Amino acid sequence: MAKIGIGKAINAGLRRAMERDAKVVIMGEDIGKLGGVFRVTENLQKDFGEERVIDTPLAESGIVGTAIGMALRGYRPIVEIQFDGFVYPAFSQIVCQVAKMRARSLGKIKLPIVIRIPVGGGIGAVEHHSESNEAYFAHTAGLRVVACSNPEDAYWMIQQAVECDDPIIYYEPKRRYHEKGEADLTAAAAPRPLFEATIARAGEHVTLATYGPMVKVCLDAATVAAEEGKSIEVIDLRSLSPLDLDAVATSVEKTGRLVVAHEASTFLGMGSEIAASVSEKCFYHLESPVIRVGGYNLPYPPSRLEEEFLPDLDRVLDGVDRALAY
């Protein structure tokens, strides 16, 4: 087991994917000589050359458009969007072209593009540098959307995403890049399938479903709740499109209660879809309404106010208490 951060784990996963397949290329702003603003691609250009690790102009629409052309020519491009709020200039390319080409061709055209996006807040950044825009892309048919939360998943999921013939939005929790955890990066490891949820902590009284940067918050909440005699089962969704609703439903059938937590606004967020789907699938098992915990329905605030905006341990525990109040 290696002790490694998420950023370094993704770097190692990218390196492994590039060693395995010469058609894998990486493109993005400042990803080459600098190694990216978070240093996730550090040393890759030095080792693989400027033709495979490409520093691009500051033009997200052009970067994604170029990736589309390369994918059509047999390459497997990995695009880095420098910050989550910078993806919007490429929005048309992603939802109008990337998401639709394979369906339009009835599967004859493969579009193996991975679009890496550092997501979420908590780093004290300026405007446009902290967003939680996953619902836009999860809503878009034809895109697959995944979110890693720990180093081991980060390492394996990026490789699985590169190997997938469908376009994938790959979310990375930017405030967790440098938090270290144990990870099995050996060839003997058996990684979980890319689009499967996992039980991050078993429990009996409440199911707490979450993903990405909120997984650590929810695990901390479960630890605190256990001191008060409340047993919380934490589900790390890992994949947002497709959603592994069977895993959530199985847990809810056991606990009878569900809280969904994410950094994005609760209004029309991922929690809304999960709440509706679980209410349909588990209506006769639910002992209380599904509770959503998330950011407020506001533009992301200035950095000095982000701690008030982001759901924290206390807000998650309040959601658990509300679910148990029935």
Average pLDDT over residues 219-239: 97
What pLDDT was estimated at residue 188?
Answer: 77
The CATH number given to 2-183 is 3.40.50.970
Assigned token pair, 314: 């206390």
Percent pLDDT > 70 in the chain is 100
The answer to whether the beta carbons of residues 149 and 212 sit under 8 Å apart is yes
- Residue 139 falls in the annotated catalytic set: no
**The CATH number, out of the four listed (3.10.330.10, 3.40.50.920, 3.40.50.150, 3.60.15.10), of the domain defined by the range 198-324:** 3.40.50.920
Same fold, 2-183 and 198-324: yes
d(CA 30, CA 56): 7
What pLDDT was estimated at residue 2?
Answer: 85
CA angle 58, 78, 236 (to 5 degrees): 110
What pLDDT was estimated at residue 47?
Answer: 97
- DSSP summary character for residue 288: S
Average pLDDT over residues 47-65: 97
pLDDT in tens, 243-258: 999 999 999 999 999 9
d(CA 209, CA 46): 40
Domain residue ranges of the chain, discontinuous segments joined by +: 2-183, 198-324
Give me the residue label for tokens 């939680």. 132
pLDDT in tens, 95-152: 999 999 998 998 899 999 999 999 999 999 998 999 999 999 999 999 999 999 999 9
What pLDDT was estimated at residue 206?
Answer: 98
Q: What single-letter amino acid sits at 140?
A: T
Q: Which of 129, 139, 205, 285 is catalytic?
A: 129
Average pLDDT over residues 145-169: 97
Residues 6+ apart with CB under 8 A from 127: 85, 300, 302
Average pLDDT over residues 276-282: 96
